[in-house]
Amino acid sequence: MSTAVVDYTREEPVVAGRPTASEIDAVVSAPLDRPPARTWWIAFGITSTMLGIGVVCVAVTLWLGLGVWGVNQPVSWGFDIVNFVFWVGIGHAGTLISAILFLLRQRWRNGIARFAEAMTIFAVMCAGIFPLLHTGRPWLSLYLTPYPNQHALWVNFTSPLLWDVFAVSTYFTVSAVFWYLGLVPDFATLRDRTTHPVKKLVYSIFSLGWRHSSRHWTHFERAYLILAGFATPLVLSVHTIVSFDFAVSVIPGWHTTIFPPYFVAGAVFSGFAMVQNSLIVVRQVFRLKHLITLSTLEKMNKVMIVTGSMVGYAYAMEFFVAWYSGSQFETFVFVNRALGPYAWAYWTMVTCNVVFPQLFWFKKVRTSIPMMFVIAIFVNVGMWFERFVIVVTSLSRDFLPSSWGHYMPSIYDVGIFVGSLGLFFTLILLFVRVLPVISLAEIKAVIPGAQPERHRPH
Amino acid sequence: MEKHLYGLTALFDTPDAVVHAAEETVKAGYTRYDVHAPYPLHGIERTMRLKTSPLGYFALVFGLLGAISAVGLMTWITLVDYPLVIGGKPFWSWPAFVPVAFELTVLLASVLTVVSMIVIYFKFPNNSHPLHDTPFMKRVSSDGFGISIEAADPLFDEAKVHAMLASLGGKEVGAVYFDEADRDHGQKVFDLKFIGVLAGVGIAVAGFAYLALNVLLYLPPFDWMMVQNKLKPQAASTLFRDGIGMRQPVLGTVARGFLPYAFKGKPEEAGKSLANPLPVTQKVLDLGREKYLTFCSPCHGNFGRGDSRLNGQFPNPPTLHSDKVREWSDGSIYHVITEGQNVMPSYAAQVSRDERWAIVHYIRVLQRAQHAKESDLR
Amino acid sequence: MNERNQWRSLHEEQDAGTTPEMKSQEFMDGVTDAFDPETLSPLSRKQFLALMAASAAFAATGCTNYRDKGEIVPYNKKPEEVTPGKANLYASTCTACPQACGILVKTREGRPVKLDGNPDHPVNRGRSCATGQAAILNLYDPARLRAPHTGAAASGTGEVSWDRIDSEAARQLAACIRDGKQIVLMTAPVTSPTAQKLILEFRAAFPGTKVIVYDRFHQETRRSAWELCYGSAALRPVAWEKARLIVALEADILGNEGFTVEQTRAVAGARDIMVSDTFVRLYSVEGTMSLTGTNADYRCRLHPEAQLEFVLALTRAVAAKLKLAAASLPAGPDLAAIAHRRGLPLKTLEHLVDDLVTLRGKGIVYAGSALNTDVHVAVNYLNELLGNTALYGPAEPATAVTVTPPADVASTIADMKAGKVGFVAHLDVNPVYHLPKVLGYAEALKSVRFSVAMTDVENETAQLCTYMLPVHTMLESWGDHTVRTGVISLQQPVIAPLYATRQQEAILLRWMSASTPFSELLYQEYLKRHWESAVFPSLGRLTDFLTFWQMALHDGVVTTPVSAQAPLQFRKDALASLRLQEHPDRYAVVLLASPYLGDGRWANNGWLQELPHPISKVVWDNYAAISPAAARALGVESNDLIEVSTESGKVTLPVFVQPGTAEQLIAVSLGYGRWNAGPVGSNVGVDVTPLLPAGCLTGPRVVRAMSVSKSEGSYALASTQEHHALDDTFVKDFHLKRHIIREGILEEYRKDPHSLGIERKEHESISPRVEFVGVKWAMAIDLNKCTGCNACVAGCNVENNLPVIGKEQVAKGREMQWIRIDRYYSGTPEEPLASHQPMLCQHCDNAPCENVCPVVATNHSPDGLNQMIYNRCVGTKYCSNNCPYKVRRFNFFNFRDHLADGYYQQEPVSLMHNPEVTVRSRGVMEKCTFCVQRIMEARQHATEAGVTFDGKQVETACQQACPAQAIVFGNMHDPGADISRYREHPAGYDVLGELNVKPNVTYLARLRNIHSEKRA
């Protein structure tokens, strides 16, 4: 096959109504042209305040040391790693939607791909903060990269943390490139729309002199296809490697082979939930209901049932494996999760991740905006707690009862998490102001009648 | 000034129309033409008889490059440059290399492919083009479909092309002219403006890196453990008035293995009651020789003749071959080394007790060398 | 060659052949070759210099970014014994407690950095204790007084000169003599003969001088009982090595009762399964959960007030078994009745009787000093009856300065109040804090005209005096100490006084002879004179005194001949005084010595404050230890507050529910709650001296409580180990189920060494195991010997520059100690069985921590060490997570800066730190290194001496400190080394071996020396 956007006209239209290309341009780029509304300013105020809180907490942490956090012996990973995994997980929806669904010829992705990719990038940025901060001496973080140095010392290639460094940075770079590539034609369109000289200059620079030439389109599509092809295993590998952070260790409750698929499923699960939440708001605010249709959202809900059930299966399986292993350490860890001091966290996780998503079996729920919004929020909460349960319960009670401990976050832990949320939503708010939230070229390509009817085979 | 014609453009309303027009253009044998659409038109490259993009091969090459360099680097580091025992694993524990190798493969393949596309096919850093800012471009970047035929085409004839495009139902058929900047089609990699920007970015990055790595990272509270709250030998200390971190032992105390010298100021007793505890062996004599040459020879000369270069500029150091010294007992010599005598200071601090005895042996050797007995010759 | 043949060197002499030409030509062969112009470098001198200049310039400009590493300050005149970078050892005496152990002080460039036992000392034989180990911190305590200073009673405030002190003291003393006012010296028991002599001379010089001696943890009840029984106050210390059976009655002989270092060494030495025949059986009958109790083979939970009836019953039972006519003893319940009433296992008591009888003459019954005279009398009689007196050693040395009876103390205090006392000198004692509050010493002191306190740090007493006089710490002092007949231990300073301090004896000397000006030598000369006149002649040595003196200082200890001991005559009439009083159903309070703070003297020593209580693992606090049943009765839990009142006073204490505590009993440590101890020690814990009656100055330390009630609020105790192990059935006995602790019964082990069920199997591994060649380090820890005394922890703290982190950080679970003693309970909350296990880095061959460190900051050395590279550590803490033993420690803060406003970052603490060990910054992971700095030093010596390094004579700090010699360290590839024997031993096991991490610390299973039918 030689072209990426194939003929889907047999299916129900992705775009509701029959908007013309110029109408799409108008509605999508509207937010870029008119000054932000009051609601936007309020939202921006809130998120940037959260961001500010985070910045303060980070500053205190850097000045005094990790002691201001709740971490201790034996639980020396707490909110930091929980949040890291949480954000990386969220970052998975974007590439999944834009790459995997692209390869699977899911046209409905075109409406949401751009936004999801943006979220990916922002989420990975949020995630990136934590591994950096959680080190006792962040000013030495260059040691994590293999560069020739006067110690003649390299890095440890057997350490999952090092794999993380490579995986996450690669994932970030590739996602960013993928995103930018998709943006190039839109930049050109914007360039040709705008009258503002500065905007024009900026758009021209980023559009790389694009002129919608079919000779370019062929290369463009090939490149896009290749990227999608690479991004697909990449997105799977990233959370697999994140799961190695735990699976490679000897700690009961971490040391298990089920983690990679379990983590990937969870990542997609939480990612879709987050996309869901944000999209519902965006399409409401920017009147994009006909471009991001209800059926699109419903399809996402279906994905959530699937992944949510996978996660639920994993929870059950963990218990079975623990019991079947015959290792008393393993068995205890899981009994302890369900009955021990952190049972509250465990059961929150189960209800949010396994019970609520099951409601999506009902078409009514699946297609009701408020319902799906609430459930998606629950899923986000639940997935955060999943990471909390995995990290904290396993560490707090491992092999030697003498060195069991208890973990309680400090206000700085919470503050930094709030800050990361702030960063994420601030970036989203900025994004919807300066870039088209929907890929113009892609969406135009799927409006009815966008493709030539006649094919001339040679 | 006369304007240079870039080519003719025509707009079409539907994808079908433009595809049809493209077919006709190809039939007419034009090669330097292009079809413009706001999104990729399905099947257009077949209509235009374009070769499939070779980017796939680029990706293959770059991917392999990434994989090989990753594995190569890790192998070299763990086997050649700095092998370390980590967790009781073999140096070359390849399963651990898989993730990094994979990530590097993906990284290089995807990024470099895109970069090369941008540089080779989009002719980066070229940006401006005659078609830019034309009504034609405004349409095709939004909802129009268009064809442009370049004047550079060998078959190009303005009137003919105009007629053809019109006959194909092209609207707004019109001419597009070069503005002077765009005359040469070459890639402007060495364009001054571009180089300038590059240089600017380079300098900015370098400057930032310098500040970050050489200044910022060494500001408080960042701690590199360069200054530690302890006293190394010969370190200064503000606590003591003399500023010296090292202290003198308390008067009258006795450290293990350092019973005070019993014959302070009693050379006779020393001479009488001290005997050399060391045997005369090659090892001892070598030690004695070494220490003699280090501590004694500067005054007494390499062979104990008192003929060092200090001669004359200093109360002449005595020879060790005088009868007096040769008659001395080992104890007396030891005593002199320990306590000093006349202008000679005590060497107790520099030369350990055993070393002193070894020196005594070596002095005996020197003396005997100067006053060999008959027996020595045989 | 007709000239005289001469030769220049041996070589020359040996090959005479070459001699002529060698002499004929000025230069030897080859020397001149260098001057062949062809081979010379084409570079002209000018060019060369130019190049040099250029490179210098480049270097100068290129190195501008290098950071200043400080200046180098060498010796002006280097002493013979000191070589920079090499350590010196000085024999001296530790005066941290009345045991006065001989110590070897390690100094670096004239600064003490570590102290350990002196192997030549016959009592402690190179062993030491936690307090002694950490005592070095008091030398470098930033809070030390640096010059004489006025106290509250003085007119002005601020520093004063010694001259003024001397003159004023002389004036005051003269005035006292003139207008017939008393002069009072307050002091603790004096172990130094010379100092005793000095005090007597002082009394002679100033007639009407009263010397008040008190000791919070006196042996007076034992002594008075001894006097009643044998007519002499001179106790006969027990020869513990010889004992095959030890019955400790409320006596924590392994904790803090008597000569603990000697006792621990002896008991542990007699529990060595490497030496198959010896294995002492230890009974502990106690109300408080003590180290002795946890280490005992049988522990009986008995209220201290029931001890007398217990001993009497025991005596009768023994007498009956021996068919001896026991002397007329007051009637009382028999063992069965007591067992029934007190809930003791009768079987155990029967075993006890049998053992006492079968092992008579080889056993000892030993009552604690907290118990009253009657119990001691009864115990003496029981030992008489059994012929256990054979285990008594020679009588303790007579002392001129004995503990003052409470009456005299009270009268003196009354005199002070009445203004009859004109001069009070406190010789390094703190009576305002120590003495029972009922005596009202503080008020009395106020009405004394002139009072001085000789102390190294300001304290409660000094605060109220006219002047506080800074005195030398033990490491700056001269002295001689004798606590055992025939043994005199010498004390010499190991560093010149850091500040304008004086030795307290010297101060007295100065006052005695107002004419002589002060000099540092004053007391040193006095000491020497005393020895020359009193000690030296009696020894009949051949050498002159100076040589003898120097050798004595060198060895640190002098043994003198011991005269034959008069046989002991037991006076039966002593038994007549015995009274069994019926005690009402009320709580009693037993006042214990704090495990490490002594009587509170060490309160400002952060290391000691942070040593976990050996049983409860609580740090930085004392508490009321009560039994679970008592807690239920009072309706309290741990961390609640209770109010305890005796007729002397009342205090409010946090509760700690201590399994194994007797009912109706509250055990609480003295030595806490000081209100003026310095930045670290002030207001730590609760001062319980208000509970003390005046009588406790010589009487028992078990006090009847008037009332005990729950009071409002709660108080969080910080402990280094969760204590849920027993209350929580969910996790009960995990240490046994998980084979962390392995225990067995001695008899069965003797029958079949493999009955412990330890199997060593090689686990499968996907990768070939790394082969180590040459020296490879390993450690073994004998759980039979380890008593859990924490000496190793303290030793490690000092050797490896460990920080003090403070209570709230410990509460957060961030303690930094590299080696810890894990304590596990099994059994029931009432009758728990406790096990101690030192846990430190196991230096696993397949160390899980190494795999996960992204920057190889931790990896394996060729000699099998799991090494930590601090400078490389980024602080991901992953290694700590992945350590199954959780022995890695992380610097969450720069703790030195964090504790008490950077208290331990002030001078002169830097002098104390081991120069060979990095002082870690925040954000760095750290852990036990097997004292790699010592290993490297040994390796270096081997290299210097040009011999191959065999790994002998390397001793880790914990091993060196351990009074029980439970820790063995060495090269496991050396078949001759002890460590190899331990690793092969059938009782040796790995903790968590099934993880296949291949730990290199072998534990020897603990064997309980109990009658095996106990099992059924």
User: What domains does chain B contain, in order, with CATH numbers?
Assistant: 1-189 (no CATH), 267-377 (1.10.760.10)
Q: Report the candidate in C456, C458, C452 with the shortest Cα–Cα distance to residue C498.
A: C456
| C chain contacts of residue A248, beta-carbon cutoff 8 Å | 851-852
**Taking CB atoms and an 8 Å limit, are B82 and A154 in contact across chains?**
yes
Distance CA C927, CA C1001 (A): 15
A132 touches chain B (CB under 8 A): no
Contact C859 B84 (CB under 8 A): yes
What pLDDT, in 10s, does the model give residues B112-148?
Answer: 999 999 998 888 888 888 888 888 888 888 888 999 9
In chain C, whose CA is at the least distance from the CA of B224? C871
Residues A71-85 have pLDDT tens digits of: 998 999 999 999 999
Tens-digit pLDDT profile for residues C199-218: 999 999 998 899 999 998 99
Residue in chain C lying closest to B345 (CA): C77
Distance CA B189, CA B180 (A): 18
Residues of B in contact with C922 (CB under 8 A): 223
Residue A2 pLDDT > 50:
no
Q: How high is the mean pLDDT of chain C?
A: 88
Residue-wise pLDDT tens digits, C144-154: 999 999 988 87
Structure tokens at B15: 């994808």
Say whether B90 and C78 touch across the interface (CB within 8 A).
no
Contact B56/A at CB under 8 A: yes
Find chains touching chain B: ≥3 CB pairs under 8 Å: A, C
Residues of C within 8 A of A325 (CB-CB) are: none
| Chain C residue with the nearest C-alpha to that of B226 | C69
C492 to B257: CB separation less than 8 angstroms, yes or no = no
Q: Report whether B40 contacts A222 (CB < 8 A).
A: no
Q: Which residues of chain B have pLDDT under 70?
A: 1-2, 180-185, 377-378
**Consecutive H or E run containing C942:** helix C932-945
* Structural domains for chain A: 36-433 (1.20.1630.10)
CA distance B319 to C635: 95
Of C876, C884, C893, the CB nearest to A65: C893
Q: Give all strands of the β-sheet with C640-645 in edge-to-edge order.
A: C702-704, C588-592, C665-669, C624-626, C650-657, C640-645, C707-714
pLDDT of residue C66: 61
pLDDT band at C530 (very low <50, low <70, confident <90, very high): very high
In angstroms, rounded to a whole number, what is the distance separating the alpha carbons of residues C291 and C272?
18
Judge: C6–B370 Cβ closer than 8 Å, yes or no: yes
**A222 to B81: CB separation less than 8 angstroms, yes or no:** no
Alpha-carbon radius of gyration of chain A? 23
Q: Is pLDDT of A4 > 60?
A: no
Cα–Cα distance for residue pair C984/C989, rounded to 1 Å: 9
The pLDDT tens digits for C408-462 are 999 999 999 998 999 999 999 999 999 999 999 999 999 899 999 999 999 999 9
Q: Is C88 on the interface with A (CB under 8 A)?
A: no
Kindly determine whether residue A217 and residue B122, on different chains, have CB atoms separated by under 8 Å.
no
Q: Which residue of A has its CA nearest to B14?
A: A452
pLDDT at A6: 47
Asked if C674 and C463 count as a contact pair (C-beta separation under 8 A), the reply is no
CA distance B237 to chain A (A): 27
Does the distance separating the beta carbons of B235 and C72 come in below 8 Å? yes
Segment A43-51 shows an average pLDDT of: 95
Backbone angles phi, psi at C96, to 5 degrees: -65, -30
pLDDT at C805 over 70: yes
DSSP designation for C392? B
User: Chain C partners of A155 at a C-beta cutoff of 8 Å?
Assistant: 854-856
Which residue from A minimizes the CA distance to B81?
A: A152
pLDDT at C923 over 80: yes
Q: What pLDDT score does C4 carry? A: 47
Q: What is the pLDDT of residue A234?
A: 92
Interface of B with C in 345-364 (CB under 8 A): 348-350
Q: What was the pLDDT predicted at C952?
A: 87
C439 closest CA partner among C633, C653, C214: C214
Instruction: Tell me what pLDDT residue C20 has.
Output: 47
Q: Which tokens belong to A206?
A: 């980023």
State the average pLDDT over residues A125-140.
92
Residue C289 has pLDDT above 90, yes or no: yes
Q: How far is CA C590 from CA A37, A88, A109, A411, in A?
A: 76, 59, 78, 43
B348–C7: do the CB atoms touch at under 8 Å?
no
* Beta carbons of B121 and A137 less than 8 Å apart: no
Q: What's the pLDDT score for residue C1014?
A: 46
Residue C832 φ/ψ, nearest 5 degrees = -75, 150
Minimal CA separation from B178 to chain A, in Å? 15
C953-993 pLDDT, tens per residue?
A: 899 999 999 999 999 999 999 998 999 999 989 899 999 98
> Structure tokens of C661?
């505590």
As for the ipTM of the complex, it is 0.89
Nearest chain C residue (CA) to A332: C731
Q: A454 falls in which pLDDT band (50, 70, 90)?
A: low
pLDDT in tens, C601-619: 999 999 999 999 999 999 9
Nearest of C348, C382, C352, C345 to residue C367 by alpha carbon: C382
Region C225-245 average pLDDT: 90
Alpha carbon of A160: minimum distance to chain C alpha carbons (Å): 6
Residue C16 has pLDDT above 60, yes or no: no
Which residues of C, range 853-872, sit inside 8 Å of A by Cβ? 853-856, 859, 872
Pairs across A and C, CB distance < 8 A:
177
The alpha carbon of C950 is separated from its chain's Cα centroid by a whole number of angstroms, namely: 31
Is residue A1 predicted with pLDDT exceeding 80?
no
Question: Which whole-number Å values give the CA distances from C875 to A59, A117, A143, A413, C748, in the listed order?
Answer: 18, 32, 11, 17, 48
Alpha-carbon distance of B182 to B203, in angstroms, equals 29
Q: Is the pLDDT of residue C11 over 90?
A: no
Decide if B259 and C85 are in contact by the 8 Å CB cutoff.
no
pLDDT greater than 90 at residue A109: no
Question: Is B373 at the interface with chain C, CB within 8 A?
Answer: no
The per-residue pLDDT for C855 is 93
User: What is the Cα–Cα distance from B1 to A447, expressed in whole angstroms?
Assistant: 46
C194 SS3 class: helix
- The Cα-based distances of C934 to B223, B229, B256, C914 in angstroms read 27, 20, 18, 11
- Enter the pTM of the model: 0.89
Spatial separation of the C-alpha atoms in residues B167 and B21, rounded to whole Å: 9
- Nearest-neighbour CA in chain C from B220: distance (Å): 12
Chain A closest-CA separation from residue C899 CA (Å) = 12
What proportion of chain C, given as a percentage, has pLDDT over 70?
93
Q: With CB atoms and an 8 Å threshold, state whether B36 touches A170.
A: no
Torsion-angle region of C551 (φ positive above 0: left; ψ -120 to 50: alpha; else: beta): alpha
Q: How far, in Å, CA of B339 to CA of C389, rounded? A: 58
Rg (CA), chain B: 47
Q: Rg (Cα) of chain C, in Å, rounded?
A: 32
Q: How far is CA B101 from CA A96, B58, B60, C544, C946, in A?
A: 22, 18, 15, 80, 47
- The shortest CB-CB distance from A219 to any of B37, B53, B93 is to B53
Q: Are the Cβ atoms of B369 and C871 closer than 8 angstroms?
A: no
C824 touching chain A per CB within 8 A: yes
- Contact C915/B230, CB-based, under 8 Å? yes
Q: Does residue C8 surpass a pLDDT of 70?
A: no
Which among A18, A98, A192, A447 is the top mutation candidate for probing chain B, defined by the most B β-carbons within 10 Å of its own β-carbon?
A192
Question: In a 10 Å sphere around its CB, with 0-12 CB exposed, 13-18 middle and 19+ buried, how is residue C218 labelled?
Answer: buried
DSSP-derived secondary structure for C741-756: S-EEEHHHHHH-GGGG
B26 contacts chain A (CB < 8 A): no
Q: What residue in C sits closest to B351 (Cα-Cα)?
A: C80
Shortest Cα distance, chain A CAs vs residue B202, angstroms: 18
By Cβ distance, the residue of C104, C107, C847 closest to B87 is: C847
Q: Are A457 and A204 in contact (CB under 8 A)?
A: no
Interface of B with C in 177-236 (CB under 8 A): 214, 218, 223-236
Give the model confidence (pLDDT) of C466-524 as tens digits.
Answer: 999 999 999 999 999 999 988 999 999 999 999 999 999 999 999 988 788 888 899 99
* B45/A contact by beta carbon, under 8 A: yes
The reply to whether B188 touches chain A by the CB within 8 Å rule is no
Q: Do B369 and C8 touch (CB under 8 A)?
A: yes
Report pLDDT for B52. 86
**pLDDT (0 to 100) of residue C35:** 52
Helix H, strand E, coil C: the string for C603-654 is CCCHHHHCCCCCCCCEECCCCEEECHHHHHHHCCCCCEEEEEECCCCEEEEE
pLDDT digits 0-9 by tens, C562-600? 888 888 888 888 888 888 877 777 899 999 999 999 889
When the pLDDT of each residue in chain A is averaged and rounded to a whole number, the result is 88
**Burial grade of C926 (CB within 10 A; 0-12, 13-18, 19 or more):** buried
CB contact under 8 A, C80 and B349: yes
Mean pLDDT of C906-930: 93
Query: How close, in Å, is residue B286 to chain A by CA atoms?
Result: 39
Distance CA C4, CA B369 (A): 11
